[in-house]
Amino acid sequence: MHSKQLQAITQSPRLAMRYQLCGEVPKMMTPRSPLIDLLETYTPHQRIRMIGVRVLPALGYTGGLTFRNGEQLYRWLKPEPQMLETDTWPAESRRIKTFRKKLTEADLRKHCQSWPEFIQTRKAGEKR
């Protein structure tokens, strides 16, 4: 049992009862989206150089939020590597659940005010 699961059971009477009656613990999940997958292909150093990233429906999220850099956006999209199924975070409520398009560097670059020159444009399917 993960420590977050144990903490949730001890702090929530509903989850404690569910555990006592059924033996069920809250499930752990990994935040996923096409934008998270794309951002994870870059290092934190590269993400921090992506300045003024604007999140729009073309990237799979509603609203017109602007983030100072790609790292700040990544931390908003995925606050922790593993989350409880009962956890809520702002990015999840703005995620377009039906969005399945595989995003590319060109898609992300269009939504940045400043793109770092040292990140070379790669052809589709090429490794970073």
DSSP codes of every residue in the chain? --HHHHHHHHH-HHHHHHHHHH---PPEE----HHHHHHTTS-HHHHHTSEEEEE-GGGTB-S-EEEEEHHHHHHHH-SSSSEETT---HHHHHB-TT--PPP-HHHHHTTEEE--TTS----TT---
Give residue-wise pLDDT tens across range 55-106: 999 999 998 899 999 999 999 999 999 988 888 888 999 999 999 999 999 9
Q: Which two tokens stand for residue 57?
A: 């429906």
pTM over 0.85: no
- Taking CA atoms, 2 is separated from 7, 22, 76, in Å, by 9, 18, 23
The single residue listed with the structure tokens 């989350």 is 83
- The span from the CA of 84 to the CA of 75, in Å, is 16
